[in-house]
Amino acid sequence: MKQIDVCFTPDLLHLHTIENTIVVVADVFRATSCMVTAFAYGVKSITPVATIDECRLLQERGYMAAAERNARKVEGFELDNSPFTYMNEQIRGADIAMTTTNGTLAITRSRGAVKVLVGSFLNLDAIANFLKTEPYDVMVLCAGWKGRVNLEDTLFAGALVDRLKDNYAMAEDSAIMAWRLYGQGKDNLIGYMSNASHIRRLQRLGIQKDITYCLQHDLYDVIPVLRGNALVGMEG
């Protein structure tokens, strides 16, 4: 039976071998939810970069650009880190450069995997259905917060474990833990997360609307997948 593993944070990636594995990166609030939304609205590519300087460089070459640090938009970039930014005719066909506190790093560190997919609750079912047709083991890489584990990405991992539990064995306790937490919280994810650190951080910034949006399941069929240095959209 294929195995599904969960890595709670990029700071534990050294414990995992990903060469023969499909990695699903999740940064639910909000980077990967933005990416999925962007592809659903017709973006052509998203290039994740590590630094604000690299992002600016690509912007100068004609990319639309988004930069976020500590959950806030960085000055001088046209796109925000809110998914609502991407619900916009202007972005159809665009090449986007993006750097975020956690999510883009998690993607670039996953190079070396068989495939790197971008996951969120918004495309959960598309991801699950695609994986069922693949012969490889799966690892969900939670982006976390500056190396720390967080609840929302773990819950996404648990949701994917739940959708795949008839097709994949849980590799380690982290998969069991994520699955248990999702089972406990799934009927009221917002209430369940009410005391989580990033929820409080986002609420201080007044973006409850984004939280509600990012927790919706199965809104889009698109799966962003890494090709070379850029993500492109693949229909699930």
The contacts of residue 33 (CB under 8 Å, 6+ apart) are 27, 83, 120, 121, 122, 210, 213, 214
What is the spatial distance between Cα 226 and Cα 209, in angstroms, rounded to a whole number? 28
* Helices 151-164, 197-204: crossing angle, 10 deg rounding: 120
Residue 161: CB minimum distance to a second copy, A? 12
Token pair belonging to 147: 């190396």
Give the phi and the psi of residue 115 in degrees, each rounded to 5.
-145, 150
Residue 154: CB minimum distance to a second copy, A? 7
Near a second copy by CB under 8 A, which window of 67-75, 123-131, 146-154, 205-213?
Answer: 146-154
Residues numbered 102-131 forming contacts with a second copy, rule: CB under 8 A: none
Q: Tell me whether residue 12 or residue 52 sits nearer to a second copy (CB atom).
A: 12
Check: CB of residue 74 under 8 Å from CB of residue 68: yes
For a second copy, which residue of 92, 111, 148, 227 counts as binding (CB under 8 A)? 148
Q: Does 32 bind a second copy (CB under 8 A)?
A: no
Residue 129: CB minimum distance to a second copy, A? 25
Q: Using CB under 8 A as the criterion, which residues of the chain lie in contact with a second copy when the complex forms? A: 8-9, 11-12, 14-15, 145-151, 154, 170, 172-174, 176-177, 180-181, 184-185, 195-198
